[in-house]
Amino acid sequence: MKKYNKILVLVLTIAIAINSCTKQLDLAPVSSLSDASYWKTSDQVDAFVSGIEQAFRNNTMSFELLGEGRSDVFGTDPGSNSAFTGEATQGVENLWNNTLDGNNPGVSNFGGFYFNINQINLLISKLNTLNIVTPANKNYYLGMAYGMRAFYYFQLTKSWGKVIIQTEPTTAIDVSHLAKPASSEDSVMALIKSDIDLSLNSFGNDYSFRNKKGYWSKAATLMLKAHVYLWTSYRGGAAADATTALNALNDIQTNVPSLHLLSNFDDVFSSSNKGNAEMIYVIHNQLNESTLPFAGTFEPQTGLIVNYYDSAQNRKFNVTDDNWGGLLRAPIKISTFRRFDDKDSRKWSSITAAYTLNNGNYQIAGAFVSKYKGEQNAGSRVYTNDYPIYRYADLLLLKAEAEVALGQDPSNEINLVRARAFGANYDPAVQGYPNQAIDADPKEAILEERFHEFIFEGKRWYDLRRMDASGKYVFEYTSVPSSQPYKLLWPIDRNTLTNNPALQQTPGYPIF
């Protein structure tokens, strides 16, 4: 792996150097700068595939911000423009306040996704024209490539609607710099579904996992297929697409029987429990190799959090155990913390609340995400947790969603997730579906369950968007008003519009 890291770093360094010297479109493809000596051996192909996964890891922050930043998870207390610790939000508040525009886009340059799309296009081209890897590896890598390209385009169209389609390797380092217009959402969705089929056909009967679930797999493509077809089921596909989604999920359960929920929710995300039985596909991190990029946005400064108390453990925070070492630009809303039942283990595993202590009475001051606790290394906290893209709990709740869409009973899937969450506190007559008040509306019940289960996994905004095409749930749960439906999509940043004159701003947002 370290050998592959060095190759990618070299490629990226040269690419960045070239890009800093010219803005013309006569640049060589990122990987063709060494074509004279590259694409000659199977080891080189292996290294390139590893580089694609590493470039995917570089998009972690974009995945999180696009999937959750604008939802009902983060925010400051009413009347405040800073975290409870006093750290300024510095523009991040535009996400949860939904006050984005081309100058404050929240996420720029289409998340940086086109760099890796171009790399994937190159890999597909080389695999389809060269015979330097074994047939098994060729098929697996093609399955990965088509699946990951479909994933990227699904992220893009869910976020911006119309986007540039590019399926051939281009001479530009960044496709967003091409003078090329965006394609319709229907065209993008057609590409996504086609790539999903190509991915599944390439994988064939190979359901294996590689690199501790850190490589895209057939199960990942099937999870993507379920997400995509549930999305289109609410947008005209109806029962046929919901059935396709359900069949994809059943395929995983039938052919990957090793997958299951872990008994302890906290163990799912532990840095010492990589590639566990609940994970389907993750962004893999490792000590001395890579870490999650979240500390500078989602975690408090150690020197500030030590002024507060943890009421659950009846103690004051300290620099040894609570060395979060971050900058809290995006705190968890107190109302988010309070949406969790105290008997729900996900509350205490995912969020840490901070309190002041006055005359022996604890008073909540604020909260921050603590789902990814990292590991201690030489007195410092290092965020080496894997970031899950798909895990078994997602499969169960997607299956429940498809069952509801088809008029079937989702009790089994919902209750498996709830039973794990409440553990010894689980009482089917109280917490079990359909016995909670919210269960009167199954879609609301699933949305709320997904809120509790997947907080800080980049899913909430997309869940709200997916389950009603009109934006009903976005308007109900977030700061987006129903009078501004254009805000269901994201604005395109000024630089991207300047670099590509063929692009147009997302309708509704101010035009420069």
| 408 contact partners, CB below 8 Å, separation of at least 6 | none
Q: What is the dihedral of CA 137, 139, 142, 148, to 10 degrees?
A: -90
Q: How far apart are CA 449 and CA 417, in angstroms?
A: 8
Which domains does the chain show, CATH number per domain? 1-69+108-206 (1.25.40.890)
Among 269, 284, 327, which residue's Cα sits nearest to residue 454? Answer: 269
The pair of structure tokens assigned to 243 is 């059935």
Q: What is the dihedral of CA 314, 317, 318, 322, to 10 degrees?
A: 120
**Could you read off the pLDDT tens digit of each residue along the chain, which spans 512 residues?**
444 444 444 444 334 333 333 333 233 344 444 566 799 999 999 999 999 999 999 999 999 999 999 999 999 987 788 999 999 999 999 999 999 999 999 999 999 999 999 999 999 999 999 999 999 999 999 999 999 999 999 999 999 999 999 999 986 666 666 789 999 999 999 999 999 999 999 999 999 999 999 999 999 999 999 999 999 999 999 999 999 999 999 999 999 999 999 999 999 999 999 999 999 999 999 999 999 999 999 999 999 999 999 999 999 999 999 999 999 999 999 999 999 999 999 999 999 999 999 999 999 999 999 999 999 999 999 999 999 999 999 999 999 999 999 999 999 999 999 999 999 999 999 999 999 999 999 999 999 999 999 999 999 999 999 999 999 999 999 999 999 999 999 999 999 999 999 999 999 999 97
| 6 contact partners, CB below 8 Å, separation of at least 6 | none
What is the three-class DSSP state of 391? strand
- pTM assigned to the model: 0.93
The pair of structure tokens assigned to 405 is 């869409």
Q: How far apart are CA 261 and CA 268, in angstroms?
A: 9
- Neighbouring C-beta atoms of residue 482, cutoff 10 Å: 11
Q: Where are the beta strands (DSSP E) in 314-427?
A: 315-316, 351-358, 361-369, 375-377, 380-382, 387-391
Name all contacts of 442-451 with Cβ < 8 Å and 24+ positions apart.
Answer: 442/404, 442/410, 443/401, 443/404, 443/467, 445/414, 446/397, 446/400, 446/401, 446/404, 446/410, 446/414, 447/473, 449/397, 449/414, 449/417, 449/418, 450/397, 451/72, 451/339
The amino acid sitting at 455 is: I
